[in-house]
Structure formats: structure tokens, C-alpha cells
Amino acid sequence: MGIFDFLDPLTNAISNFLIDSGTTLPAFSTILLLIVSLIVSSFSGMVNRAVLNMEELAENSKKMQEHQKRKKLARETADKKLWISVKRNEEHFLELQRSTMTKRMVPSLFTMLPLIFVFQTLRSTFQQEENRELNVCYDAALANPTENCDRSSGVVAVLPFKVNRDIPLIGKWFSGLNGDPNLSVAGFGFWYFLSAIVLSTLLQRMLGINLTGMQNPMQQQN
């Protein structure tokens, strides 16, 4: 029994709406996940800004960095007075570090469950037969069950180039497009996290959105 079973009617309604509207196939699915990832990233950022005192956290981080610099300097110079001063404050900064880490975890209490729900809902939505048929592995695995190919991966993005599956680390995340060996496709998991982690961050910087309350290097120079 899943933790979101009681939300099955809502999950099914969302899935059916997306399927009926034709947005589960590329290129609509590609754009849709970009938009969703940006919304999710913005939601997380706003929760962080609302829950956390970003100025206090930034100040604590600055103090801990200064402490580490003094500690390093004391070791390099063998300055006994400086070392005694550093050790005298060591427990204070350890407690400050623990407190800061705990505070940074608080927003996850508000964001974790909604984000898991969004991920699971979209993941099930993009596992339709039409999505899997775009994956060259779909036919390959049917023809040869021992084929090292994941035919269950639903395609959400078609890339205008071919990605060699032998590329270390990332190659296995891609498959060929069924019907065109010169193009590669990406499944839901890879494209969703790529969008959330990379593209959303870039879009926020381009649009000047600073949801965390932290100053970026460009702001510090002004």
C-alpha cells in the first residue's frame, strides 16, 4: 500500500487529462516537463525563503568559513596562540554547524511529500504504450528478450542527434529513436531531473529570479 493511495482519484484525473490533451508525447511532453520542473523548483525556492532566515544562515556560513581559515592558518604557521584561540571556539562552531544543517532540513518537511507525489504521478503518466513504442529498445527487447535494453522506459524527449550508449556515466540513459537510428531519446526520469537540476537553475538566473534569498556573485559586485 502506497502513501499516496488515497490520492488515486486525483492522480488518475491528472493522468487522464494529460493523456487526453495529447501532451504525453514529444515534443509536448518535453516542454511540459520543462515547465513542471521550473514550477517545482520555484515552489521549493519559495518555501525555503519563507521558512528559513537566509540572512542568518549566510552569516553563520561566513563565520564558519572564517573559522576554518583561521584553523588552517594556525596549522600552517604553528602559531600556538592562534591555535589555542581556534580550539577554544571549536565546540561553538561545531554546534553552529549542526544547528545550521538542521535548519536547512526544515523546508523538506513541507516539500518532500508534494514533490514525491508530483514525480510519481508524472512517472506513471508517461509510461503509456505510445511513449514506450518510441524507444528502439521496445522492438529490440521483443525480438530478443536477452537484449540489454530497457523497453519499459517511456520516451518524453527526442534529441536532434545520436548519443552513443558507450559514453561513460550518461550513455545508458539514452536509447535510439524507433524508426530513426540517427536520433536518440530520453526517458522520463533523466529528462525530469535534468530539467529540474540544470535548466530550471539556468532559467532562474536568466530571468533574475533569486528565490533562495542568497546573493549571487553578480549581486555582490553591484
Phi, psi of 187 (to 5 degrees): -85, 175
Which pLDDT band holds residue 137 (cuts at 50, 70, 90)? Answer: confident
Among residues 90, 97, 94, 154, the alpha carbon closest in space to that of 124 is found at 154
Could you report how far apart the first and last alpha carbons of the chain are, in Å? 54
Which pLDDT band holds residue 72 (cuts at 50, 70, 90)? Answer: very high
177-218 pLDDT, tens digit per residue, is 888 878 988 888 888 888 888 766 775 666 544 444 444 434
Among residues 72, 65, 69, the alpha carbon closest in space to that of 100 is found at 65
Which pLDDT band holds residue 130 (cuts at 50, 70, 90)? Answer: confident
Structure-model confidence comparison of residues 207 and 98, the more confident one:
98
Set of cell numbers at residue 88: 577554544
Question: What's the rounded Cα separation, in Å, for the pair 3 and 202?
Answer: 33
Among residues 152, 146, 145, 149, the alpha carbon closest in space to that of 129 is found at 152
Question: What is the DSSP secondary structure assignment for residue 10, as one 8-state letter?
Answer: H
74-89 pLDDT, tens digit per residue, is 989 988 888 898 899 9
Entry pTM: 0.72
**In this model, does residue 221 exceed pLDDT 50?**
no
